[in-house]
Structure 1
Amino acid sequence: MVDSVLAGTKAQHREALFAARRAVPDSIRAAEAEALSDHLAQIVGPDDAVCAYLPVGTEPGSPEMVDRLRKLCARVLLPVTRSGADGRPLALLWGVYVPGALVAAQFGLLEPAEPWLPSSAVAEADVVLVPALAVDRNGVRLGRGGGFYDRSLALCRPGARLVAVVRDEEVVDELPSEPHDIRVTHVVTPKQGLFALAGPL
């Protein structure tokens, strides 16, 4: 774990973290994605329902992780992003992952084709894999700032494992937080695998 505190605004953090990810060589990114895939058996069991996502761009991991998940657990759901009439993000909808049946969506994403499940379907998940730019030791997560996951994690059932997927360098001692933030319970990194976070102090 990085022994540091990220100072500054969330926007400044995001800019620095995006730049750091862009600087990672492709060979290292591929090796880290393979390591993350190898850790999946630590995270899920054969009877688990899992809400996952398809990594895009410089996000840690790979689409192959989702195929691996499908072999390890009972059910994999992927998110569907939607905004309200005013353009504000809504809680994610969910679709069952079927290989070869994804469709192009906004933000350059691939999403499950209809029919979709309601936002409340996340409450059925035993494990939710959560994209993040950084996570601190108390479970505070820094996302991309869209707000989709902020609205969705509030719907998870008590006891579900909320697992942030980040690079080892993206686990820090402290991030700025707000009272409404939903904290993740675990993190998985390429080198350290899965480990629990302390939670709120």
Structure 2
Amino acid sequence: MDLASSKADLRRAALARRLALDAGQVARRSDKLRENLFREFPVAQWRWLHVFLPLQKRNEPDTWAIIRWIWGEEMPLRLAVPVVQADGISLKHYELTPGTQLTQNRWGIDEPVPHPTAAPEVAPAALDAVLVPLLAADRTGQRVGYGGGFYDRFLAQCRPGTQFIGLSVLNEAPVQRIADVLPTDVPLTACITPGRVWRF
């Protein structure tokens, strides 16, 4: 029996479950995501890691736990984060350092203030791994986000072999199948939950 679910249904249900978490739960689960990332992936061997900055009002994983750990361990790894462009549909990517000046965009997400020296642009082809926001994933690595298509367009620009790693604070297994996958959807390499890592 094919238990397929639509993106809209999965998005609505997963967002409701995530919003039901309190701040302490999100923080503890985000720490588990950080532990699983560093235990299961060769982070220290990467040159560039792309990280999304969390939308706290939607209880997204607190990726600052990962960022501050990398800085605290003084890893040679460099970090890039996205900036939504004026067209409202595309992303550019800029280096994040402890001294990067941040500003909030219209959705309340922190973004670097682009600057040639303080926050230089990073090409998608330079990235070794991308941490991807999501609400749900299926057993083939297809994901459900907020529906804007930002990440599918971005991931398609990365070079072959780049690791696409979903992060979810919901401690849930992938669903069997997302019914309405598009040809332009880019599957994940893996998904990290607080309880385990799923590989696709």
- Give the alignment's TM-score, normalised by structure 2: 0.83
Compared CA separation, residues 170 and 79, structure 1 to 2 (3 A): farther
1:171 aligns with 2:174: yes
Unpaired segments ≥5 residues, structure 2:
none
Amino acid at match of 1:29: V
Separation in 1, partners of 2:3, 2:14: 13
Contact kept? 2:52, 2:63, Cα under 8 Å: no
Residue 188 of structure 2 corresponds to 184
SS of alignment partner, residue 106 of structure 1? coil
- Structure 1 CA distance, aligned partners of 2:84 and 2:114? 13
The aligned length equals: 187
Deviations 1:159-195 (A, max 9, x none): 1110011122262221121122111111111111x34
Asked if the contact 1:32–1:190 (Cα under 8 Å) also holds between the matched residues in 2, the reply is yes
Note the C-alpha offset of 1:46: 4.1
**C-alpha distance 40-56 of structure 1, shift in aligned 2 (>3 A):** same
- Work out whether residues 53 and 66 of structure 1, in 8 Å CA contact, stay in contact via their aligned partners in 2: no
Structure 2 distance, partners of 1:89, 1:189, is 28
Aligned partner of residue 181 in structure 1, secondary structure: coil
Aligned pairs (5 A) from 1:1-201: 5=3, 7=5, 9-41=6-38, 42-43=40-41, 44-57=43-56, 58-70=59-71, 71=73, 72-84=75-87, 88-90=88-90, 92-100=91-99, 101-115=101-115, 121-166=123-168, 167-169=170-172, 171-176=174-179, 177-192=181-196, 194-197=197-200
Alpha-carbon RMSD across the aligned residues, in angstroms, is: 2.2
Contact 1:130 1:164 in 2 (8 A): yes
Q: Percent identity?
A: 32
